[in-house]
Amino acid sequence: MTMLKHELVYHHDSAGLFERIAHQPWAMLLDSGQMINPATGRAGSQYGRYDIMVAEPFITLVTRDKQTTITQNGAVIISEEDPFFLLKNILNQYQAPKTGMPFAGGTLPFAGGAMGYFAYDLARQLEKLPNNARPAVNIPEMMIGIYDWAVVVDHREQRSALVSHGLHAETQKKWPALQALFDAPSRAAFTEGESSQFEVTTPITSNLTKPQYQQAFAKIKAYITAGDCYQVNLAQRFSAEVEGDSWLMYRKLREISPAPFMAYMQLPLNKDENFQVLSDSPERFLQTNDRHVETRPIKGTRPRSADAEQDLAYSKELLTSVKDRAENLMIVDLLRNDLSKTCALGSVKVNKLFQLQSFANVHHLVSIVVGKLKPGKTAVDVLRDCFPGGSITGTPKLRAMQIIDELEPHRRGLYCGAIGYIGFDGDMDTNIAIRTAVVCKNILSFYTGGGIVADSDGSKEYAETLDKASSLTTITKFFTRL
């Protein structure tokens, strides 16, 4: 194993670097939402520190229903074992120590390992759920690549690097070409398959009318009154027909609605077609760093306003809302229980409760729960035992998921699953895949939802789903030709 590092020219906006690989199958960008502040010409510090981009995995894992297809060096293995176990077994074969950046500024967050998505419906591998909701988009339940190189952009240090643990034999051969690719002037490095336009060709429609949403809402309230559950997240699905290059939509999305856990993925649907994932997520699901575990559940939402006084009023209303604080606390307790499955006794603690965090379109209440992994447990173990995230299911989790399947017309697919990485060094960072769109077979689709509790108001909950959808619905207006 030979660690490879090559420093690159730093740019505040990482999109130009990613464009060199954006149209390759299995290309992925984990995006911290950093954009240039027009007043200063520098990247802001509101969101994350690192952007990470990869392509050319040397192993892929694709799960559909009960089967996971593992492809490596042209060889294909199909397994019906637990997909989390399969991923853990592969990562156990490729381990590497944490390593520093090729410049001052700490250790690399990722220099190779697993990256991809775990769809919400992967939970059917873990729990017995009904089959009332029908699939809306036929994408796999899990798509993970094992990558031996990455480009890491450090916005705090304002440095960028191409890095690799050198665990795959081909990486050394490809290294000069990779250096040349990322050293080249930005516009000269575009890959084949790019398009110069993206268009939304039909109006956006929902799979739930307002009366249908209210009917589902009433059923949840009845379940809560009967003591069947305490909170259920109810979502609606929006969709429209589109044409062209989804990367152009993502570039506009990150420009007008930056968030700390964004992502873009170009993934193969079959040998002839790709689909794209565009995530504008504000929520961290799970992070592990040197066996320290952290989750940041979001519960509680108010819209933003262009009027400064009204915007401040919305934020104060959220901070003092007894209902929203109770809703947040329910999920914090659920996550404490989930983390306790893989964390050491007494290590699970609530670091912060009900912190206000403001984004381009909404205010949120965010809490922070931490723990420390038990000896012998790994990042994959904690991900499996907490999956899917409690903030987007409800309490008790299993009963909430059963009710979701009963009342939502379509399966959620990727929505409310997780996107992120698990490095060869054992560290992990994943988001909750909310505010996340999928473009597949010329259909753009995304979901928004909210937690319903005993004192929820149906009209307000419905309006909240529209507030959460506003970043994606606003983006489509830039590309609508109607």
List, in order, residues 6 or more apart from 312 with CB less than 8 Å away.
Answer: none
Residue 174 known to be catalytic = no
End-to-end CA distance of the chain: 55
- Closest listed residue to residue 371, CA positions, set 362, 379, 363, 359: 379
Of 56, 141, 299, 464, which one is the catalytic site residue? 299
**Per-state percent for the chain, helix, strand, coil, to nearest 5:** 30, 35, 35
334: three-class secondary structure by DSSP: helix
Count Cβ atoms below 10 Å from residue 375 Cβ, excluding itself. Answer: 7
Q: How far apart are CA 354 and CA 368, in angstroms?
A: 9
Residue 362 contacts residue 467 (beta carbons within 8 Å): yes
Burial of 93 (0-12, 13-18, 19+ CB in 10 A): exposed
- Closest listed residue to residue 31, CA positions, set 22, 41, 39: 22
β-pairing, 418-423 vs 362-372, is unpaired
> What's the one-letter identity of residue 479?
F
Handedness of CA 371, 128, 206, 445 (dihedral sign): positive
Residue corresponding to tokens 């397994």: 79
Q: How far apart are CA 371 and CA 12, in angstroms?
A: 33
Q: For residue 55, what are its two tokens?
A: 């392509």
Burial of 23 (0-12, 13-18, 19+ CB in 10 A): buried
Q: How far apart are CA 279 and CA 39, in angstroms?
A: 27
- Closest listed residue to residue 126, CA positions, set 384, 331, 389, 396: 384
DSSP for 1-48 reads ---EEEEE---SSTHHHHTTTTTSTTEEEEE----EETTTTEE-SSS-
List, in order, residues 6 or more apart from 241 with CB less than 8 Å away.
Answer: 200, 201, 202, 442, 443, 444
Q: Distance of CA 204 to CAs 201, 214, 245, 475, 482, Å?
A: 9, 20, 18, 12, 11
Q: How far apart are CA 335 and CA 451, in angstroms?
A: 15
Residue 19 known to be catalytic = no
Phi then psi dihedrals of residue 212, to 5 deg = -65, -40
Of 56, 141, 283, 461, which one is the catalytic site residue? 283
Catalytic residues: 283, 299
